[in-house]
Amino acid sequence: MSVAEIFQTMDYGPAPESAAPAQEWLATHTEGFGHFIGGVWTVAASHFPSTNPANGKVLAQIGQGTDTDIAAAVAAASAALAGWKALGGSQRARFLYALARQVQKHARLFAVLETLDNGKPIRETRDIDIPLVARHFYHHAGWATLLETEYPGYEAVGVCGQIIPWNFPLLMLSWKIAPALAAGCTIVLKPAEFTSLTALLFAQICQEIGLPPGVVNIVTGAGATGAALVAHPDVHKIAFTGSTEVGRQIRQATAGTGKKLTLELGGKSPFIVFEDADLDAAVEGVVDAIWFNQGQVCCAGSRLLVQESIEPRFLAKLKRRMETLRVGDPLDKVTDIGAIVAPIQLTRIDELVRAGVAEGAILFQPVTACPEEGYFYPPTLLTGVSPASRVVQEEIFGPVLVALSFRTPAEAVALANNTPYGLAASLWSESINQCLETAPKLKAGTVWINGTNLFDAAAGFGGYRESGFGREGGKEGLWEYLVASPLPPAQRGDNRGNEGNHYISPVGRGAGGLDQTAKLYIGGKQARPDSGYSRSVLGPGGAHLGEVGEGNRKDIRNAVEASRAASSGWGGASGHNRGQILYYLAENLSYRTAEFAARIAMQTGHDGASEVDAAIAQLFFWAAWADKNEGAIHRTVQKSVVLAMPEPLGVLGIACPTEQPLLGLIQFVAPAIALGNAVIVIPSEVHPLSATDFYQVLETSDVPGGVVNIVTGERDTLMKTLAEHDDVDGVWYVGENASLIERASVGNLKRTWCLKPGALPRHDVFLRTATQVKNIWIPYADELPW
């Protein structure tokens, strides 16, 4: 073709990237890869093939990890832990810096190898994935240096088991390994079965920089290998990115073990286009949202929501743009859409598209032919779908976009939130006011404004609801690899800097008996238990003090409904207003100090006055925090600022400590409601009368009905019901039966926080546990307005 003809047609000729260097590296491992354990390569007992999805040819033989391999890797990580932690943040930073440099030195090899193994276009691996990998190691080298000053009183969680997916093999590795190394953790990582090669090359550069043996261990294999890692008793934390189904299995397997857990799971992200949007820019945004990495992205903008007034014009533009997308050889630099990772994934995509058409969807695919060799699927648009359609509700994980329309912004929010997921969302409008009004209403952990699929090491990423919990990246991501350091014996019980955050051990004598009709407290009203039964409350010497209602499943249902109805208004109220109500609670409780002190002494035989004083201090402490849990602004490499906004979880179920009937209740309820949550409280099973007295204080302190609900009864049974309820967003439990609660939470993967009796949670842990961070990306011009 002549130059003149090229200018006439604007067709691009092929621009292939050479695979020779990657093939040469693979040729040095023709006998098959082993595992990287304790700084050396082991011989795998058996192997399975890793294939190139663009042509189906075998690239290498990957070691199949066994329970023995996992045990050896965990042992190596455990042995290395003390030395790696003792090295100090500044010295660990040097290794992170060296890893970043090595990634840059071998950037092209990593990019080509990733494309061969995964099937994504070389332009994406070369220009997006690998630079971001280096960025994560550089960024966390900085956090390692600053760890002691910015995270005082915290230390590494320990040995971390990390399981990564096949869609971003090396990038997901960096998201997990970089913060863990910075925090002082040691690691056993299992890469995805389909895409292990770049993880093995990364192990090689760990050797090259002299990383201490056992700090990073990589064991390849299938699902059973990952299961062995999750189950190993000497692993202190599991970080998993993958499907929601497997995430549930991991939550089930780790329940009651005390392992820290981060889950980054599936998504069905909305891409919302308002009528005042730049339509041409939004079309390009759709291309990046759903056809980037063949749509094999957990946060892909797979649900297109277009305002009704512009829908025909926008879809026409989108179809024209789809006709220009190039599907083909991933190593060709002009390819837009590469290969699907494996035949099983290709089959699932095709089956779901056929199901959508059977349900009435209108199928559009451009005329561009896919290569006959390899695993390819054309860019696909489905219109005429209903919100309940399978293709609208289920994650397809392929280059398939479904489109719906909306009339008003409120309808757009309702459609966007009509999914069990909550990973990400994109908003397109020329009105920043419209976007900032809409973003907080979306149940999504990341919101991009006039952009999509933007990632940076400085900004946290993670989901709401069944998209998992925890964050990766940014300051909030580093918390996932830290735990509070144990206090030296001489400092235990010292409360300086943590006022109002301790359990006291009151002493004294009991008081005389008192009887009353103690009901449940649901929706701002006293309610008789549905069971029709009551349970006796006994004093220290066995004296009958009174009776409380025996709550059951129906009472929990009513309390959850009341909490849900109240949560949006309470969570949307200003922190100042919430703080004023907590101050009012403290004031009204102080008027009744003698009454509450006598009740506490009657139940426990201890000095009730000290406990009431501590409870009032708690209310003042959390009233002060109500308007001070501020977010942050992250400055990323891209021309965007990222608003990291803490938001309440929503509806929390709380099982209070058994001892200290008033303080144990206030210590957990106060931070939860101060930070905007509505709560269902299961008070002390042994000493519940202080809780049933406290609802009289709630009634006189302007607390909106449904914000605090109190259900008495058998604590673990009621908490299990709360943990199973799909309309509860999180549960806090103080007790000995954490495994029961964590297993029951699997249904909607709600966040759980389980503490042993007598635990001393710091106030900053409450701040993080009562909220989740939404990252809102806002693009800007060359000069910021401030």
Beta-bridge mates of residue 734: 755
**What tokens appear for 133 in the block?**
């990998």
CA distance 426 to 778: 11
Tokens of 677: 């949550």
Please tell me the distance from the alpha carbon of residue 408 to that of residue 390, in angstroms, as a whole number.
Answer: 24
Structure tokens at 386: 């209903």
Our measurement of the distance from residue 41's CA atom to the centroid of its chain's CA atoms, rounded to an integer in Å, reads: 33
Orientation angle between helical segments 608-625 and 575-591, nearest 10 degrees = 160
Could you tell me the two tokens for 285?
Answer: 């945004």
d(Cα 29, Cα 35) in Å, to the nearest integer?
A: 12
Distance (Å, rounded) from C-alpha 511 to C-alpha 660? Answer: 16
- Is 370 among the residues known to form the active site? no
Burial of 312 (0-12, 13-18, 19+ CB in 10 A): exposed
Task: Identify whether the C-beta of residue 439 lies closer than 8 Å to the C-beta of residue 774.
Answer: yes
> Taking the chain, what is the end-to-end CA distance rounded to the nearest angstrom?
52
| CB-based burial label for 779 (10 Å; 0-12, 13-18, 19+) | middle
The letter for the amino acid at 12 is Y
Short-list 623, 625, 629, CA closest to 580:
623
In whole angstroms, give the CA distance from residue 671 to residue 684: 18
- DSSP string of 512-542? -----EE-EEETTEEE--TT--EEEEE-TTS
Distance between CA atoms of 338 and 14, rounded to whole angstroms? 14
Q: How many CA atoms lie within 13 A of 455 on its CB side?
A: 28
Task: Name the residue among 740, 745, 739, 741 with its Cα closest to residue 725.
Answer: 745
- Please, where are the H alpha helices in 255-303? 279-290
Provide the β-strand partners of residue 37.
40
- Positive or negative, the CA dihedral 79, 83, 84, 86 is positive
What pairs with residue 383 in β-bridges? Answer: 362
CA angle 253–191–333, rounded 5-degree value: 140
CB count within 10 Å of CB 553 equals 16
Q: Which residues contact 418 (CB under 8 A, 6 or more apart)?
A: 387
Considering the candidates 160, 206, 298, 299, report the single residue annotated as catalytic. 298
The Cα–Cα gap between 686 and 709 comes to 19
Instruction: Please indicate whether residue 206 is annotated as part of the active site.
Output: no
Catalytic residue among 264, 550, 647, 659: 264
β-sheet with 237-241: strand ranges across: 40-41, 36-37, 216-218, 186-190, 159-163, 237-241, 260-264, 468-469
CB-CB neighbours of 172 under 10 Å:
27
In this structure, what token pair is assigned to residue 273? Answer: 């286009």
Under DSSP, is residue 678 helix (H, G, I), strand (E, B) or coil? strand
Integer Cα distance of 739 and 734 in angstroms: 12
The Cα 112–Cα 91 span in angstroms is 32
Distance between CA atoms of 326 and 324, rounded to whole angstroms? 6
Helix (H) or strand (E) holding 9: helix 3-9
494-507 burial, b at 16+ Cβ within 10 Å, e below that, comes to: eeeeeebbbbbebe
Extended beta strands in 329-372, E state: 362-364
Catalytic site positions: 264, 298
